[in-house]
Structure 1
Amino acid sequence: MTIHVLSDQLASQIAAGEVVERPSSVVKELVENAIDAGATAITIDVRGGGRELVQVADNGAGIAADEIETAFLRHATSKLTSADDLWAIRTLGFRGEALASIAAVSRLTVVSRAREATAGIRLVLDGGAVLARETIGAPAGTVIAVENLFYNVPARLKFLKSITTEKRLIDEFVTRYALAYPAIRFRLSHDGRVTFQTAGSGQTADVLLAAYGPDTARQLIELRPPEPAADPSTASGPAAVAVRGYVSDPALTYSARNHIQLFVNGRAIRDTRLTFAVVQAYHTLLPVGRFPLALLFIDMPPDEVDVNVHPTKIEVRFRDDGAVFGAVQRAVRAAILETAPARGLGGWPAMGQSAAGWGGFGAAADGRDLPHTQLDIPWQLRGPAPDDEGLDEAAPAAPTLPGAAETRLPLMRVIGQVGAAYIVAEGPEGLYLIDQHAAHERILYEQLLAQRRGQQVASQRLMAAATVYLSPSQAHLVEENLPLLASLGFEIEPFGPNAFRLRAVPAILGRADPAQALAAVVIDLENETAPLKSETEALVIKRVCKTAAVKAGQTLARPEMEALIAQLEACDVPHTCPHGRPTLIHLSATLLARQFGRT
């Protein structure tokens, strides 16, 4: 093979792959350019998840008529003049690659008028080549329409995710920057329907309400940076790092870290160390595997941070990363502890019960056990069906217990309850300790699966419809999975932008908070990566059963314990819960004799 220089067009398409990964990358670059141009209103219109159209309109400074073609050349920018400027970057964009990269893999139309100009310019490009240029009347600002993204790079096009996934990624980005720039009016629409908009009031709290809804917003704690002792532009070291924003009350947790959002000087970044600093600030306050919501803005001198690390500018390096880590950790921890008296820090459930009741204790706020009459456990026995095979394909194989059949439990006699969490029972081969939450979860799981197979999932209508507010990306998830949720007993209808009315829930949820149960299902869907519909369905069923199951910390009466054990004995896979945790531990008579020195 001979060595040769690539054509400009091919080189541009290759370079575009570093900057434009998917439709959300186009939205990111165009919105950042609009913010740098001083826009106070940004409108984003998307069709087909961004494959058909991404249009961003702003009222910023606009592009001068004699510079509009130059703007779409590689390495053309107005934000840098010398290499020294790289060490004090104050704008979101600076590399001069975004517009050229986007134009190289799409059909692009730009209409722009500089504020001092009397007329605007319309420029049409196809694959980076200029097709048309004309003078037209236009308002001050810029409108860029990107159509048929990746039409000339089919390899990239086929690797895009589903339309719903691309929509969700766009929603997440726009929401993130709306929170970072509350003084800018953002308006986002998908296929002609507005899904997110802000008023541009300058108040982050207003954007939080629009992005997360009132239920989540009221559980956030505000971080306020200390008053600066000197001019931030001349300060250095730890004192130059100011951290502000919002973090969640420890009662509000999620199963993944993706709700921790970080900004440095107004730029959205990813940083595993700073994410760890946020989690560490909640040390001993959250259960294992749960993470907070955090929206942190880190302000520091530009020369203390290097943003020229990655083409997408999502990664940065700090001159003193230890100082930034410490500032974040201290600010978050201080905010949590300052609000402890008002929020009852010492009274949180030991296992980290969240606001949605996910997997925590069911103890009352004053530490008393909840009366067993509040459990509302469905105690109807269900015998095994002869044709129920493969009932729990997702769960690991159940361990074989000594003296018991592979899939059946021996008859057991209830002795009592330990720690309001474990049932003590006697069997023919010794002692059994049953985890009441895991056991009840297995019972409900098999019952709901059996109803699902028979297309007869019992649904319970609510006396008063519950309203659930979600983020734009979560709202798309609900809309995508409405048929599945309906088949499992949920009756949901749209109720305004990113809001839904819940009129019925699966009957097994009993007295569980319906809105919190749906919110828990949505968060699990948000973190789900399995592409198969059957896996998604199993995930939802597991979450419903986990929410409905009796919790550790709830005292059970003897008839309730006996009924629970009888139902567990009737299960096809009684040894594990749907997530694979054991439901019981067997202590054989031989082991007990050995422990007491009898043998």
Structure 2
Amino acid sequence: MAIMILPPDVVGKIAAGEVVERPASTAKELIENSLDAGATDIRVEIREGGRRLLRVIDNGCGIPHAEVELAVARHATSKLRTADDLQHITTLGFRGEALNSIAAVSQMTILTRSASEETGAQVRLEGGQIVARESHGAPPGTIITVENLFFNMPARLAFLRQPQTEGGHIAEMIARYAQAFPERRFSLLADGRLVFQSTGSGALTDVLVKVHGLDVAREMIPVGVFGENRPPVGVFGENRPPASLTPTVWGYIGLPSQHRANRNHITFFLNRRWIQDRTLTYAVLEAYHTFLPVGRYPLATLLIELEPSLVDVNVHPTKAEVRFRDPRAVYRAVQKAVHQALIEQAPLPSVTLPAPTPGWGQPDGWEERRQALLNAGQAPQQPELGLPRSALAPAPLPTPDEQGVAPWPAEPPTASDLPMLRVIGQAGATYIIAEGPDGLYLIDQHAAHERILYEKMTAEMQRHAVPSQALLEPITFTPLGHHAGLLAEYAAVLNDLGFILEPFGGHTYLVRSVPAIMHRADPHQATQEVLEGLAQEEDLVNDAREARLVRIICKRAAIKGGQTLSLIEMRELIRQLEACQSPRTCPHGRPTMIALSAVQLEKFFARR
């Protein structure tokens, strides 16, 4: 095939593919232009998740009448003049590609008026080509309307998610900018309904209340100081601290009690620009070291001020990745600021030791009575235990369907799968010590219980009989960000798994029931963690998502490490693990046990 220069329309679509990924990235580029134009009030309107219509209205400086057509040309910008300016970027946008890329894959209308002019201009484009231009009355500022996004790129259009999910991504993106610019007022209307609105007061705490809710915002503590005569944390506008040669870190972090299931709630802004940086995320996690349970992550909104010449933001078309000239200095600044805030302000955790529960020891004659009942074909009744009885309830074998085929083999595993074990005790309130015919076994009680619950719930799903536990009083649950779209999209799947949720106006739901195995968990936190698990792997097909949901639920409901068990509870746990199909790993693939053979023990003690 001969080498040729690509036509302009093909070049435009290729460039648009790098900048415009989905409606949320379109809104991001337009909002950044509004912020750079000095807008103090930014209003976003969407229909069908931004696919049908996305409109951004601002009260910024506007575009002069004579420059409107030039503004949509590729590489046209008012923010750079020479290559040296790339070393001192102080604006959010600078590439001059956003408007041209968006116009290339949509039907765009620009209505704008500069404050120095009496009339504005309106330009309409379709597929990147100007189809109409006229003078038009308008207030100072700019209104950009994007309709039928990707109308000329059916392949890209087919990969967009449901409107609720796409709208949720837009809401999450606007919430980020509201945190970076609390002195600006942001509004989001979805299908004519007000979804989000910040106050524009300049106080970061006001935005955190809007984003995370009042209860969570109350549990967040300030990070960083500006000096003796500087304004308190969260004040912006004219009193905003200037960028310096050394990193300045400030913002708010959650108390250790406000932990989350993943890292998605750690947010960074560099000179007001939202960035993603794994190294900085690790710095926050290191600052919380020993403060959080294993596998849990903190809540944080951190703003970093740094001299623009010390950072390269011209790394990726989305401008979400940056490179620091001295990354170690930024890492240390983040870790030190967060750790210092925790040490100085986080309250010491209170530990309450549970009172001994009657019946925690093995009753006299219990084993003999258990064997007698088993020989008679009856299940022994357990005494009252420290754990809820349902936590270690035996998993019933599935019943055959109408064709006589069981969902999974009803035969118990053979001795080669897992030998019969005799419980000896517990180590570190986490590992069960058991003896087998060939040596010693250490069983991770959390991983083992996860496997038991997973196989039990999988069998119940195949029979379409997952039990749910009704709440005494329904609770209200409002998902944040694109979790709202996930909840609407997978409401039926969640219902099959025992979560009974009803719409309660807007994005709010009433949680009436939770899966029976989670009846002791906090319903609000349990629902939030399930949605966070879904969001981590959005590209999974429905069957894979159902399996992941089951794993998330079982992980949440399983016995935790550090939980003391009685001898009877440990025996029951081992008995149920022996009945599992895959007893040697948890649903996530971690081993449930390790074995030390008699030969290994003899070698350790030099007996052979």
- TM-score, with length taken from structure 2: 0.84
Residue 543 of structure 1 corresponds to 552
Residue 405 in 1 paired to residue 411 in 2? no
Are the structure 2 counterparts of residues 232 and 56 from structure 1 closer, same or farther at C-alpha, using a change threshold of 3 Å? Answer: closer
Which residue of structure 2 lines up, in the alignment, with residue 377 of structure 1? 389
Partner of 2:256: helix, strand, or coil?
A: coil
- CA shift, 1:447, in A, is 2.0
Write out aligned runs for 1:243-392 (5 A). 243-286=249-292, 289-340=295-346, 342-344=347-349, 365-366=351-352, 373-378=385-390, 379-385=392-398, 387-388=405-406
Deviation string, structure 1 residues 38-65 (Cα, Å, up to 9, x no partner): 2222121223333322211112222222
Matched, 1:137 2:118: no
Range that drifts further, 218-227 or 421-430: 421-430
Which has the higher mean CA deviation after the structures are superposed, 66-75 or 281-290?
281-290
Once residues 243 and 531 of structure 2 are traced to their aligned partners in structure 1, the CA distance between those partners, rounded to angstroms, is 44
Give the whole-Å Cα distance in 1 for the aligned partners of 2:168 and 2:422: 52
Map Cα deviations across residues 422-463 of structure 1 (whole Å, 9 max, x no partner). Answer: 333344444443332222222222222222222221111111
- For 1:43 and 1:263, how far apart are their aligned partners in 2? 22
- Quickly say closer, same or farther: Cα 1:511–1:236, change in 2 above 3 A: closer
Structure 2 partner of 1:453: 462
The 5 Å alignment of 1:448-527 reads 448-527=457-536
Counterpart residue identity of residue 405, structure 1: A
Deviation at 1:249, TM superposition (A): 2.6
State the shift of 1:212 in Å: 1.9
The alignment partner of 1:572 has SS state of: coil
Structure 1 distance, partners of 2:256, 2:38, is 37
Of the structure 1 ranges 274-283 and 176-185, higher mean CA displacement relative to structure 2 is found in 274-283
Q: Which residue pairs with 2:189 in the alignment?
A: 189
State the secondary structure of the residue aligned to 1:69: helix
Post-superposition offset of 1:216: 3.3
Tell me if structure 2 keeps the 8 A contact 1:232–1:300. no
AA of the residue aligned to 2:69: E
Cross-structure match for 2:382:
none
Q: Give the C-alpha shift of residue 167 in structure 1.
A: 3.2
Partner of 1:201: 201
**Following the alignment from structure 2 to structure 1, what is the Cα–Cα distance between the partners of residues 5 and 200?**
49
- Identity percentage of aligned residues: 50
Distance 2:282 2:395 in 1: 46
**Partner Cα separation in structure 2 for residue 561 and residue 501 of structure 1:** 37
Instruction: Look up the SS of the partner of 1:176 in the other structure.
Output: helix
- For residues 477-532 of structure 1, what are the alpha-carbon distances to aligned partners after superposition, in whole Å with 9 as ceiling and x for unaligned? 22222111111111112345544322111112232222222122122112124521
> In the alignment, does 2:245 pair up with 1:237?
yes
CA distance in 2, matches of 1:460, 1:273: 42
Task: Give the Cα separation in 1 of the matches to 2:432 and 2:193.
Answer: 53
Change (3 A) 1:81 1:592: closer
**1:542 and 1:90, CA in 2 relative to 1: closer, same or farther beyond 3 A?**
same
Structure 2: gaps spanning 5 or more residues: 231-238, 361-384
Give SS of 2:171's match: helix
CA 1:110 to 1:530, structure 2 compared with 1: closer, same or farther past 3 Å?
closer
Q: Is the 8 A contact 1:384 1:570 kept in 2?
A: no
Range with greater deviation from structure 2 (26-35 or 498-507): 498-507
Classify 1:229/1:85 alpha carbon distance in 2 versus 1 (closer, same or farther; 3 Å): farther
Aligned-partner residue type, residue 277 of structure 2: D
Shift of 1:124: 0.8
What is the Cα deviation at residue 155 of structure 1? 4.3
Q: Distance in 2 between matches of 1:558 and 1:273?
A: 44
Query: Aligned AA for 1:269?
Result: I
Q: Is the 8 A contact 2:169 2:481 kept in 1?
A: no
Q: CA deviation at 1:33?
A: 0.9
Could you say which residue in structure 1 is the equivalent of 2:445?
436
Please say if residues 162 and 489 of structure 2, whose CA atoms lie closer than 8 Å, have aligned partners that are also in contact.
no
Contact 1:104–1:127 (8 Å) recurs in 2: yes
Are the equivalent residues in 2 in contact too, given 1:383–1:570 (CA < 8 A)? no
Gaps in structure 1 of 5+ consecutive residues: 348-364, 393-399
Cα 1:322/1:417, change in 2 over 3 Å: closer
Measured in 2, the distance between the counterparts of 1:57 and 1:137 equals 15
Residue 234 to residue 524, structure 1, CA distance change in 2 (3 Å): closer
Shift of 1:368: 5.5
Paired residue for 2:45? Answer: 45
Give how far 1:333 is off: 1.8
The residue type equivalent to 1:262 in the other structure is F
Distance in 1 (CA, whole Å) between partners of 2:409 and 2:508 is 35
- Residue in structure 1 matched with residue 431 of structure 2 by the alignment: 422
Question: Is this contact kept in 2: 1:413–1:427, CA < 8 A?
Answer: yes
